């Protein structure tokens, strides 16, 4: 394995940002020619990191959100009357899982699109991230917010992918 890529995941965030800005400004943003397994390893590390970050951010938002949890009595009351009444902070722990999963899927999809374009283009620059952010809107519009059937299918696919990755790490790696 190339020494340049061995400790990439252990760099501090400030170093990663500084190197990315330098590479973008000076045009030294071409990925090195290493084997496909190294790129897939970096891809999966970035995806796992961003999904985990999304879970944490979503859980934090779920603790302080003014919106009631889906399926709760407060949500049913709001749907029936049409009047929004914010819930107090830390009053609805049942909102934490739904918000955590929502944020994790958005951040994971953004990183999936960004790293996928990076692998196809063989360049690591800011345009990959812009592409990933641009792809969040169609993902949200046509999958997460389109119908309950698509949302259920999405959750089953994501859950199956998580279970397959756990099984791969446990039994094959």
Q: What is the pLDDT of residues 12-51, one digit of tens each?
A: 666 666 666 666 555 555 555 556 666 667 777 777 788 7
pLDDT of residue 42: 73
Instruction: Give pLDDT tens digits for 94-129.
Output: 778 878 888 888 888 888 888 888 888 878 788 888
Q: Check residue 90 and report its DSSP letter.
A: T
* Spatial contact of 32 and 4, defined as CB atoms under 8 Å apart: yes
b or e along 14-28 (b: 16 or more beta carbons within 10 Å of the residue's beta carbon)? eeeeeeeeebeeeee
Name the percent of the chain lying above pLDDT 70.
Answer: 73
Average pLDDT, the chain: 76
Per-residue pLDDT band at 78 (split at 50, 70, 90): confident
pLDDT at 72 over 50: yes
19 vs 15: CA distance, rounded Å: 6
* Spatial contact of 66 and 29, defined as CB atoms under 8 Å apart: no
pTM: 0.65
Per-residue pLDDT band at 82 (split at 50, 70, 90): confident
pLDDT of residue 39: 67
* Spatial contact of 54 and 100, defined as CB atoms under 8 Å apart: yes
């Amino acid at each position: 394995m190339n020494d340049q890529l061995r400790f990439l995941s252990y760099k501090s965030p400030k170093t990663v940002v500084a190197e990315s800005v330098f590479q973008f400004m000076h045009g030294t943003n071409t990925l090195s020619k290493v084997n496909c397994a190294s790129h897939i390893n970096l891809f999966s590390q970035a995806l796992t990191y961003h999904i985990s970050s999304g879970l944490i951010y979503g859980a934090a938002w779920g603790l302080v959100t003014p919106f009631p949890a889906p399926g709760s009595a407060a949500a049913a009351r709001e749907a029936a009357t049409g009047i929004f009444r914010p819930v107090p902070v830390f009053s609805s722990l049942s909102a934490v899982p739904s918000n955590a999963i929502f944020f994790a899927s958005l951040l994971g999809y953004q990183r999936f699109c960004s790293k996928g374009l990076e692998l196809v283009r063989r360049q690591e620059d800011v345009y990959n991230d812009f592409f990933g952010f641009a792809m969040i809107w169609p993902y949200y519009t046509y999958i997460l917010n389109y119908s309950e059937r698509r949302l259920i299918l999405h959750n089953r696919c994501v859950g199956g992918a998580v279970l397959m990755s756990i099984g791969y790490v446990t039994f094959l790696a």
